Amino acid sequence: MNYNVDERGYYGDFGGAFIPEMLYPNVENLRQNYLKIMAEPSFKEEFDQLLKDYVGRPSPLYLAKRLSKKYNTKVYLKREDLNHTGAHKVNNTIGQILMAKRLGKKRIIAETGAGQHGVATATVCALMGIECIVYMGEIDIARQAPNVARMKMLGAEVRPALSGSRTLKDATNEAIRDWINNPVDTHYIIGSAIGPHPYPDMVTRFQSVISEEIKWQLKEKEGKENPDYVIACIGGGSNAAGTYYHFLHEEEVGIIAVEAAGKGVHSGESAATSALGKEGVIHGCKTLLMQTKDGQITEPYSISAGLDYPGVGPMHSHLYKTKRAEFYSATDDEAMQAGLELTKLEGIIPAIESSHALAIFKHKAFKPEDVVVICLSGRGDKDLDNYIKYFNL
């Protein structure tokens, strides 16, 4: 079984590039060039240097002793929360800004929901001195004021999406419209392992630095490269794809995905895409997504803004369908408790997205001799208000 993208841009039955004809030249230009550019020694050198000196990589692989003791297994945390800007997203935006420069692009556009990807994009545009326009739903702009302020301070223009539900999907539509109107000078930085081919593969490759580091770090600490399990939360699936990448074809490594169940998988307020989703097309690719009987996308819900997405990247749909990965979902309550637990046991306040991955211990028991690696995708600073409200702190 192959879990990587094939030459047609598919992961098994999922993926492809379902785009309006007007977008074809942009996407085709990227498709023809991305692997060539990524293989250039000067690209690799600049990417690695920035990940090291700007992002602060390698991120530590930390043996969480008190958490391990509590669940009677050996738990390592991959500390993406310690990256510059506080999450894994910057690995991708650094890669894509370098890609855009080599493609001769002078202008960057992005969509953002909660604002995390917008901030990561505005950050690398400031770093490179490139014009940056971030589309964001009007409702999200009101809900996410600190991230809007960050983007503006970084020099980005935040343009409100005023149509539809005025949230992420409408921002995405606006970004696509912009790209159609500016096909020559503009690159569209997509923020997760989603979108038309080659985006899911390109984003996965940029994020695969996570599992590349886990391999040599485990070799140093455990004397072997492969853990028994790798675990990550899934919104669109970029931190998960990066965490799994170098283990996909290592059969002895168990792959575990944790989605957001919101108020319960069958409560009507959930983002558990694999459990609730059916095949369909969203944002340019064929994948599992939450939809009504007549194919209208269902509004997702999760307490965590980063997991509040109605689809999942095509690689993950393939991992689900082939049963290569085990899929679980954690409710808001389970995630919040797991976040507080990590804070008390290890002195680390996780992003609420990452707390969903930590909630795996409420759903699955591991053996004492298992080596379990969890991707701690981001830090909890941005979620402090939510934690305060939830726990009455």
Ligand X SMILES: *Cc1c(COP(=O)(O)O)cnc(C)c1O
Residue 239 engages ligand X in binding (rule: CB under 6 A) = yes
| Torsion, Cα of 264, 265, 268, 269 (10° steps) | 60
User: Count of residues binding ligand X (CB under 6 A)?
Assistant: 19
Residue 378 engages ligand X in binding (rule: CB under 6 A) = yes
Residue 227 engages ligand X in binding (rule: CB under 6 A) = no
Which letter does DSSP use for residue 310 in this model? S
Residue 270 engages ligand X in binding (rule: CB under 6 A) = no
Of 74, 89, 169, 286, which one is the catalytic site residue?
A: 89
DSSP letter for each residue of 315-359: HHHHHHHTTSEEEEEEEHHHHHHHHHHHHHHHS--B-HHHHHHHG
CB 97 within 8 A of CB 72: no
Minimum CB distance to ligand X, residue 386 (Å): 13
Minimum CB distance to ligand X, residue 279 (Å): 19
Query: In this chain, which stretch among 10-18, 234-242, 259-267, 329-337 interacts with ligand X, using CB under 6 A?
Result: 234-242
377 is catalytic: yes
Q: Which residues contact 348 (CB under 8 A, 6 or more apart)?
A: 77, 81, 342, 376
Out of 17, 67, 87, 359, the residue judged to bind ligand X by CB under 6 A = 87
354: its two tokens: 């990452």
| 27 or 168: CB nearest ligand X | 168
Minimum CB distance to ligand X, residue 103 (Å): 23
Out of 238, 274, 287, 302, the residue judged to bind ligand X by CB under 6 A = 238
59 is catalytic: no
Residues between 164 and 193 with contacts to ligand X, criterion CB under 6 A = 192
Of 192, 238, 304, 377, which one is the catalytic site residue?
A: 377
Residue 351 engages ligand X in binding (rule: CB under 6 A) = yes
Cα end-to-end span (Å), the chain = 49
Query: In this chain, which stretch among 233-241, 245-253, 285-293, 317-325 interacts with ligand X, using CB under 6 A?
Result: 233-241
89 is catalytic: yes
Residue 95 engages ligand X in binding (rule: CB under 6 A) = no
Minimum CB distance to ligand X, residue 203 (Å): 8
Residue 234 engages ligand X in binding (rule: CB under 6 A) = yes
CB 334 within 8 A of CB 390: no
| 100 or 114: CB nearest ligand X | 114
Over the window 115 to 144, marking each residue x when it contacts ligand X by CB under 6 A and - when it does not, the resulting string is: -x----------------------------
DSSP letter for each residue of 172-195: HHHHHHHHHH-TTTEEEE--SS-S
Query: In this chain, which stretch among 1-9, 23-31, 230-238, 243-251 interacts with ligand X, using CB under 6 A?
Result: 230-238
> What are phi and psi for residue 84, nearest 5 degrees?
-50, 135
Query: In this chain, which stretch among 57-65, 210-218, 237-245, 328-336 interacts with ligand X, using CB under 6 A?
Result: 237-245
- What SS3 class is residue 257? strand
CB atoms within 10 A of CB 349: 18
CB 8 within 8 A of CB 286: no
**Burial class for 359, CB neighbours closer than 10 Å (0-12, 13-18, 19+):** buried
Residue whose beta carbon is closest to ligand X: 378
CB 254 within 8 A of CB 237: no
Residue type present at position 362: K
Residue 374 engages ligand X in binding (rule: CB under 6 A) = no
Residues between 285 and 314 with contacts to ligand X, criterion CB under 6 A = 306-307
Q: Which residues contact 286 (CB under 8 A, 6 or more apart)?
A: 13, 14, 15, 16, 18, 279, 280, 314
Minimum CB distance to ligand X, residue 69 (Å): 26
Active site residues: 89, 111, 377
Binding site for ligand X (CB under 6 A): 87, 89, 116, 192, 233-240, 306-307, 351, 353-354, 377-378
